[in-house]
Amino acid sequence: MARVPGSVYVLLLCSFVTETVLSDKADHKRNVLIILADDGGFELGVYSNKICQTPNIDALAKSGVIFNNAFTSVSSCSPSRAALLTGTPSHQNGMYGLHRGVHHFNSFDAVTSLPNLLKSHEVITGIIGKKDVGPAALYQFDYEQTEENNHVNQVGRNITHIKLLTREFLNKAHNDNKSFLLYVSFHDPHRCGHTDPQFGPFCERFGSGEEGMGLIPDWHPIYYQWEQVELPYFIQDTEAARRDIAAQYTTISRLDQGIGLVLKELEEAGHLNDTLVIYTSDNGIPFPSGRTNFYDPGLREPMIISSPEAGARRNEASYAMVSLLDVMPTVLNWYNIPFAQEETNEVQSDKPKSLLPILQKEPPFSEDEAIFASQTHHEITMYYPMRAIRTRRYKLIHNLNFGMPFPIDQDLYVSPTFQDILNRTRSKQALPWYKTLKQYYYRPQWELYDIRADPAEMKNLHGKPSLASVESALRERLERWQRDTSDAWLCAPGAVLLQQDHGPVCRDLDTGLPHVARR
């Protein structure tokens, strides 16, 4: 059962107050609002979580389509954001790992981003919250209130401040008399245990009104009983892990209340009936098997899209296989702007696509639908390149650096959940988890799973004779996608990639490791 705190005393001052945008003068151009959670998952009422309270996200779902098979193309913060804003996988856009600090990854200079492209089509663009991509000139919004000119908690977790920034941007778009794209990138429910531990493992105390924590005026904190949280199968059943999830729930409820404030600003500005609203997250939740992993808890994402158009589906679910790579072509389609892609003669296209048709009608069911994933780094020290293809039934993961233990990021390492796993393993205490730490660290080069029969991805079927044709087809399709997207890791780890006039060629290193066929 959730509890709401009593009186709070300390004020967290907002930087300004802006007048409400006048709705009677609002124009009716086509607009887009993208709302991105940071490490958000399925702890939402609309996705059947009965404990975590998310009435605003649930209400958004009633006005749109709930996607049950949405996936990120990379399970890492900066790479996933770059992929969303370019429609290209991380190995193609160059954002191999985190952008901030010592990690310092950047996209290639020649990449075309959504804000830069929209600017050339007279659409005003704005970002509020966590940006975490670069270089700046490549991802240039007309209006920017991000961690680059604010503290990330103020623009990513202070929902009152986010509300006022949203109002300011909508005023600007109104005064400029242009269509707009607003990208509200919350920092909730990201962990903060290694950056701001005084606020709790998920910054659940930030702005709560507790002594020394400040106050976010529009936030009404909800605290959850650790015994009552819904425990995902991939998290150990211990008090430490359950308390960690309870803290996560509190920040998800803050995220939800923030989304409600943003949508209210949109309504008061008179733009509910001309704005395509997209809600999703960048990658999986920050728990073992989640973020940085290619198991489903790391790749599957919530996604809700609400279209104001007549005849659009309302309060319906889609089972189409979709990717965050599809966001850019969807937005461009909304503005009737072409999404530049190379033409293909192949009947089966694995390229990003607009999701607007799905908002009108559910596409025919197909077993051949697939999503692809590509990851190289997270933090600079976490070199563990992976490539994957997932269909409705099967998933094939290629771990290129399989000889090394799977790396652990700083956020996860200091978390109560991982420390509990680590300490129980070291002291040989009982660990009610679905894996051992050794199994989690050490992974084979190839992993093949039958998702329908084995949704927890526990039984690796790689090399099973009865699935030889299935595995071969998946590998060929994954290889084709890597070639089509200019993957520099196409031949790794068993061969060297050489560029020839007729295309890339893999030259064997005689390591004994299999690789793609020579071309």
69-82: pLDDT as tens digits: 999 999 999 999 99
Could you give the 3-state DSSP secondary structure of residue 410? helix
- How big, in percent rounded to 5, are the helix, strand and coil portions of the chain? 30, 15, 55
Say if CB 96 and CB 339 are below 8 A apart.
no
User: Residue 146: which residues within 8 A CB-CB, separation 6 or more?
Assistant: 127, 128, 129, 130, 131, 152, 155, 185
Fold of 31-341+348-372: Alkaline Phosphatase, subunit A (3.40.720)
Residue 140's pLDDT band, with cuts at 50, 70 and 90, is very high
Q: Name the residue among 301, 297, 189, 207 with its Cα closest to residue 250.
A: 189
Instruction: Indicate the domain borders of the chain.
Output: 31-341+348-372, 379-485, 489-518
Q: What pLDDT, on a 0 to 100 scale, did the predictor assign at position 349?
A: 77
Q: How far apart are CA 501 and CA 110, in angstroms?
A: 22
Residue 503's pLDDT band, with cuts at 50, 70 and 90, is confident
Range scoring the smallest mean pLDDT among 10-19, 163-172, 232-241, 307-316? 10-19
Q: How far apart are CA 208 and CA 8, in angstroms?
A: 8
* Token duo for residue 394: 């099967």
User: pLDDT of 167-209, one tens digit each?
Assistant: 999 999 999 999 999 999 999 999 999 999 999 999 999 999 9
Q: What are phi and psi of 195, to 5 degrees?
A: -110, -45
In DSSP terms, 31 is beta-bridged to 275
- In this predicted structure, the answer to whether residue 7 has a pLDDT above a threshold of 50 is no
Q: How far apart are CA 58 and CA 45, in angstroms?
A: 6
Q: What pLDDT, on a 0 to 100 scale, did the predictor assign at position 500?
A: 87
Q: What pLDDT, on a 0 to 100 scale, did the predictor assign at position 332?
A: 98
Q: How far apart are CA 474 and CA 375, in angstroms?
A: 18
User: Residue 334: which residues within 8 A CB-CB, separation 6 or more?
Assistant: 30, 32, 276, 356
Residue 512's pLDDT band, with cuts at 50, 70 and 90, is confident
Q: What pLDDT, on a 0 to 100 scale, did the predictor assign at position 8?
A: 33
Residue 234 is which amino acid?
A: F
User: pLDDT of 327-371, one tens digit each?
Assistant: 999 999 999 999 876 554 454 579 999 999 999 999 999 999 999
Is the pTM higher than 0.85? Answer: yes
Q: How far apart are CA 427 and CA 448, in angstroms?
A: 33
User: Residue 92: which residues within 8 A CB-CB, separation 6 or more?
Assistant: 485, 486, 487
Q: What pLDDT, on a 0 to 100 scale, did the predictor assign at position 14?
A: 40
pLDDT (mean) for 475-495: 96
DSSP label at residue 198: G
β-pairing verdict for 322-323 and 65-71: parallel
Residue 515's pLDDT band, with cuts at 50, 70 and 90, is low
Domain 379-485: assigned CATH number: 3.30.1120
Catalytic residue positions, numbered:
77
Q: What pLDDT, on a 0 to 100 scale, did the predictor assign at position 28?
A: 62
Q: What pLDDT, on a 0 to 100 scale, did the predictor assign at position 235?
A: 98
The residue length of the chain stands at: 519
Q: How far apart are CA 226 and CA 429, in angstroms?
A: 21
Q: How far apart are CA 84 and CA 76, in angstroms?
A: 12
Buried b (16+ CB within 10 A) or exposed e, 109-133: eebbbbbbbbbeeebbbbbbbbbbb
Place of tokens 């991000």: 146
Is the dihedral angle over the CA atoms 327, 330, 336, 340 positive or is it negative? positive
* Token duo for residue 103: 């990690």
| C-alpha pair distances (Å), 342 with each of 27, 335, 349 | 36, 20, 11
Share of the chain above pLDDT 70, in %: 92
Q: Name the residue among 486, 478, 484, 485 with its Cα closest to residue 516.
A: 478
Residue 291's pLDDT band, with cuts at 50, 70 and 90, is very high
Q: What pLDDT, on a 0 to 100 scale, did the predictor assign at position 18?
A: 42
Q: How far apart are CA 287 and CA 237, in angstroms?
A: 13
* Token duo for residue 60: 């958004």
pLDDT (mean) for 279-298: 98
